[in-house]
Amino acid sequence: MKPDRNKKKTSGGPANPSAPTTKRSTPAAGGSKRGSRGNSEDSEPTAGSEPVPVWLFVLMALMLYSGMSYLHTYGGGFNPKVYENFRSYKLVDSANPKSGPEMLIAKGEALYMVCAACHQVNGMGVAGQFPPLMGSEWVNEPNPARLIRIPLHGLSGPMQVKGQDWNSSMAALGSALSAEDIAAILSYIRQAWGNTAGPVTPAEVEAVIADTSSRSMDGSRPWTASELMSIEVAQ
């Protein structure tokens, strides 16, 4: 019986069973693009760090500076006694009516600008040139009789202030300022910068002027420290 050749030709298996079979698929148009877009949309968010922009630091610094400047100018030092239209307690105090020693001291503070060129606004003086008024034993002496003579007639030569030696001079102001003006200046410096001496009255200045009538107030005969110390004053 002869084999059926038609059956061999029509059998379903491959001619070589050991040969691998491959299948090729053709992606649809645009499939790769949709796939990449879908992956990016479905990916999980991640936390990271970025440097803070420099302009942000600059802006914060400017805002802080502006706020501090505003408070310094208009805050009144956070003093509850400072109210609208006044920027500091000093302005409030100067606007309040004064009488007696307070009025004299307020006047003396304004006139002290004549002395501030040498003794400075803070009363510290200038090292090696002009002695300090702050804490000076001459300024704080209970009886102001010696102190009054200095602005009246001037001062020249060596002297000691707060344990330090000085050798300078001070111009006479007696011919340029009234007794009240001198009393006002001395009253101010005797209570400023931590000094605690009492005020000087115009009557006390006039009494010294009368006692020293033989001495000219034009600065031709300034006092020396030794002369002043030789004057006996009641304490």
Q: How many domains does the chain have?
A: 2
Pairing between β-strand 164-170 and β-strand 155-161 as defined by DSSP bridges: antiparallel
* Domain membership flag for residue 62: yes
* Domain membership flag for residue 40: no
User: What pLDDT, on the 0 to 100 scale, is given for residue 1?
Assistant: 47
Q: Averaged over 88-111, what is the pLDDT?
A: 78
Query: Please, are residues 87 and 76 in contact by the beta-carbon 8 Å criterion?
Result: yes
Same domain, 133 and 65: no
* Domain membership flag for residue 92: no
Residue type, 210: A
Rounded to two decimals, the pTM is: 0.62
Please report, for the domain that includes residue 155, its CATH number: 1.10.760.10
Same domain, 137 and 60: no
pLDDT in tens, 37-88: 555 567 787 777 888 889 999 999 999 999 888 887 777 777 777 766 666 7
Same domain, 103 and 67: no
* Domain membership flag for residue 39: no
User: What is the token pair recorded at 81?
Assistant: 């006694």
| For residue 112, pLDDT beyond 90 | yes
Q: Which structural domain range is residue 76 located in?
A: 56-87
Same domain, 63 and 143: no
User: What pLDDT, on the 0 to 100 scale, is given for residue 40?
Assistant: 56
* Domain membership flag for residue 132: yes
pLDDT band at 24 (very low <50, low <70, confident <90, very high): low
User: What pLDDT, on the 0 to 100 scale, is given for residue 61?
Assistant: 94
* Domain membership flag for residue 69: yes
pLDDT in tens, 167-184: 989 999 999 999 999 999
User: What pLDDT, on the 0 to 100 scale, is given for residue 16?
Assistant: 52
Same domain, 104 and 215: yes
Query: Please, are residues 122 and 134 in contact by the beta-carbon 8 Å criterion?
Result: yes
* Domain membership flag for residue 188: yes
Q: Averaged over 194-217, what is the pLDDT?
A: 95
User: What pLDDT, on the 0 to 100 scale, is given for residue 84?
Assistant: 66
Same domain, 168 and 190: yes
Higher pLDDT, 34 or 192: 192
